[in-house]
Amino acid sequence: MTSDKLSRRGLLHAGGGLLAAGTAAALPASGAWAAPAPAQRPDRAATTDGSTSGGAGLPTRNPLVAQRADPFITRPVSGMYYLTGSVPEYDRIVVRGASTLDGLASARERTVWRRPTSGRMGGYIWAPELHRIDGRWYIYFAAGDSDQPFRIRTYVLESAAADPRADAWVLRGQVTTAWDTFTLDATTFVHRDVRYFLWAQSEPGIATNSNLYIAEMASPLAIKGDPVRIAVPTLSWEVQGFRVNEGPAVLVRNGRVFVTFSASATDHRYCMGLLTADENADLLDARSWTKSPQPVFGTNENTRRYGPGHNSFTVADDGETDVLVYHARDYRDITGDPLFDPNRHTRVQRLYWNADGTPSFGVPVGDGGTVLRLSPMDAPGAYVRHFGYLLRVEGNVREVADSQFRLVPGFSGAGRVALQSVNFPDRYARVDGTVLRVDPYEDSDAYASAASFVQVRGLADRRATSLRLSDDADVYVTHDGNGRLTVGRPGNRRVDRERATFRISPDPAD
């Protein structure tokens, strides 16, 4: 056994995965992609924290920003992204800006407002959101009072400056609603030339901690008309610890208005749900909204992401690819009140779309480099996925995480790669006879050989890639044309070489 094998297996056995830093070194000089790919380009190689900025410019660093809960990242404004969120001290509002999403990680953060030392708004400061409306900036945030920190109400700041980091913010006061009760997590959006306000509140007479409400806005500072209740926590996953619907975020796509929201206590039980309305419906009619019966995003023990939620949406650096922004912890057990555990970190990952136009969130992605999907050339629009741990080729994969992988250093020596499952990161693609499976790592020569491949330029297209078996230069991973992934000798026929050639799309750009 070589020292390379020993060090690789020792790392896996100790940590259950591979650092993305090794990915660039593992790929051969004749790697497959002509387009920039962070796993291949030496000048864009992953660092030890797993950070890159590849594909359409979506960072793979995880987290993007530590200890920033309830994260809100704007879409680019004059070429700049801006990020705000709750700080662990709950005492101030911060904003950072950068020209790329990845740049937010190291951008200087500025405090734009601090709570007063006493009285109104002198308590907890929660969940700020930053919005550009009619040439001005607005921050909607929740604040308690100094003597009653949980007497949470919604307030708004306004700035006429072009840069929201500038010292130009003016407090405009409370956004009043129908009841003077616990109110938080306000957001705003425009649809069909109407600006709406969407928020969470405790309504008198309803035995919940918070429900979701929508109203039209008279101005960026006030609503008009009566609030419309569109969601109440009643399902089992919404009432764990607390009866909560909060943290709404809006995305209008594919003929529908989608509202994600968060539910239950802020520990590992925290999760995200989804409301949907037709884009032509009256959004102020509660009957227009349908709640999905199951959560769309939640804790994943395999990736070690706990309590994901309070999300927002932005786009990748290409200006088109939808990006999910959220917070999550990387451990389950918390001492004391989870609200005061500081390690809810800001994370980003691609938001996918199903063939029927509905969003596909996948799982909260764990540590590592660029997330990839593989599509054989003979089946455009279909992807390699695992089902029952057997690798297949399918179209319209709704369980998007089953089709996500990482190329990491192989186990049988230099110049080899392994294909790691994203949602089962302890499993790697392995040849088993004539089929491929994703099986747990084993510290053996047999596993090392069966789970290691040589990545070469595509047999049918040099811009794509082919995966050759590590111990047989003539045998490749191939699609049999009937949805099965197998191995074989492609020969010289064009159709056979296409079946052994895969387009690898780096997340987020397919």
What is d(CA 73, CA 170) in angstroms, rounded to the nearest whole number? 21
- Are 406 and 371 contacting, i.e. CB atoms less than 8 angstroms apart? yes
Which residues are paired to 99 by β-bridges?
Answer: none
Cis-peptide, bond into residue 63, ω within 30° of zero: yes
469, 334 Cβ separation under 8 angstroms: no
CA distance 484 to 500: 12
Which residue in the list 145, 185, 238, 246 is annotated as catalytic? 246
Choosing from 70, 145, 367, 496, the catalytic residue is 70
Q: Find out whether the peptide bond into 342 is cis, omega within 30 degrees of 0.
A: no
Is 496 among the residues known to form the active site?
no
Judge whether 109 counts as a catalytic residue.
Answer: no
Is 399 exposed, middle or buried (CB count within 10 Å of its CB: 0-12, 13-18, 19+)? middle
Dist. CA 386–CA 369, nearest whole Å: 20
**Taking phi first (over 0 means left), then psi (-120 to 50 degrees means alpha), and beta for anything else, what does residue 257 get?**
beta
Q: What contacts 391, CB < 8 A, 6 or more positions away?
A: 384, 385, 429, 435, 436, 437, 438, 485
Round to whole Å and give the CA distance between 13 and 277. Answer: 48
Tell me which residues are annotated as active site. 70, 246
